[in-house]
Chains A and B, each alone.
Chain A
Amino acid sequence: MDFAFFLIQLLNGLQYGLLLFLVASGLTLVFGIMGIINLAHGSFYMVGAYLAWSLSSMTGSLTAAILLAIPLTVILGMALERLLFRHLYQRDHLYQVLLTYGLILVFEELRSLIWGDDVHGVAVPALLNASIPLTDNLSYPVYRLAISGVCLLLAAALYFLIQKTRLGMMIRAGASNRDMVQSLGIDIKLIYTLVFAMGIALAAFAGMINAPLSSVFPNMGSQVLIICFVVVVIGGIGSVKGAMAASLMIGLAETFGQVLVPEVAGMIVYVLMAVVLVWRPQGLFGKA
Chain B
Amino acid sequence: MQEKSNYDRRGFLLGSTALAGATAAGTLLPAGPAAAQQGKIKVGFMLPYTGTFAQLGVAITNGFKLAVDERGGKLGGREIEYFTVDDESNPAKAPENVNKLVQRDKVDVVVGTVHSGVAMGMAKVVRESGTLWINPNAGAADVTGPLCAPNIFRTSFSNWQTTYALGKVLKSRGIKTAVFITWKYAAGEEAMGGFKEGFEAEGGKMLKELYLPFPQVEFQALLTEIASIKPDAVACFFAGGGAAKFLKDYQAAGLKGKIPLYGSGFLTDGVLDAVGDAAEGVETTLHYADGLDTKKDKAFRLAYAKTFKLQPDVYAVQGYDAGQLLAAGLDAVKGNVADKPGMIKAMEAAKIDSPRGPWTLSKSHNPVQDMYLRKVVGKENKSMGVAWKALADPARGCKA
Interfacial residues, chain A to chain B (CB-CB below 8 A): 1-2, 5, 8-9, 12-13, 15-16, 108-109, 112, 116-121, 123, 131, 133, 135, 137-141, 143-144, 213-220, 223, 254-256, 258-259, 262, 265-266
Contact = CB atoms under 8 A, between A and B. Distances in A.
B211 interface: yes
Nearest to A139: B254
A16 B241 contact: no
B244 A217 contact: yes
Nearest to A227: B216
Given A112-B54, A219-B52, A16 B218 contact: yes
Given A16-B218, A118-B274, A119-B271, 10 more contacts: A12-B221, A16-B221, A108-B50, A119-B240, A215-B271, A219-B52, A223-B216, A259-B221, A259-B225, A266-B214
A266 B185 CA distance: 11
Contact of B254 (A16, A131, A218): A131
Nearest to A132: B254
Contact of B55 (A117, A131, A140, A254): A117
B73 interface: no
B212 interface: yes
A12 B220 contact: yes
A265 B212 contact: yes
B254 A217 contact: no
Nearest to B208: A262
A1 B240 CA distance: 32
Interface string B246-290: 001100111100110000000000110111100000000000000
Given A141-B253, A219-B51, A255 B221 contact: yes
Interface of B: 50-52, 54-55, 184, 210-218, 220-225, 227-228, 230, 240-241, 244-245, 248-249, 252-255, 258-259, 270-271, 273-276
Nearest to A123: B276
A53 to B, nearest CB: 9
B259 A213 contact: no
Nearest to B259: A137
Contacts of A266: 184, 213-214, 216
Contact of A137 (B214, B255, B273): B255
Nearest to A268: B213
Contacts of A118: 55, 270, 273-274
A167 B132 CA distance: 66
A219 B55 CA distance: 13
Contact of A262 (B211, B214, B217, B276): B211
Nearest to B89: A219
B243 to A, nearest CB: 8
B55 A121 contact: no
A140 B224 CA distance: 10
Given A16-B218, A138-B253, A259-B222, A120 B273 contact: yes
A125 to B, nearest CB: 13
Contact of B227 (A15, A116, A137): A137
Contacts of B220: 12, 15-16, 255
Contacts of A258: 212-213, 221-222, 225
B254 A137 contact: yes
A218 B55 CA distance: 10
Given A2-B228, A213-B245, A139 B222 contact: no
Nearest to A251: B218
A266 to B, nearest CB: 4
A271 to B, nearest CB: 13
B240 A214 contact: no
A217 B328 CA distance: 37
Given A120-B273, A223-B215, A254-B218, A131 B252 contact: yes
Contacts of A120: 273-274
Contacts of B273: 118-121
Top 5 A-B pairs ranked by shortest CB distance?
A217-B241, A139-B254, A121-B274, A266-B213, A138-B227
A112 B274 CA distance: 17
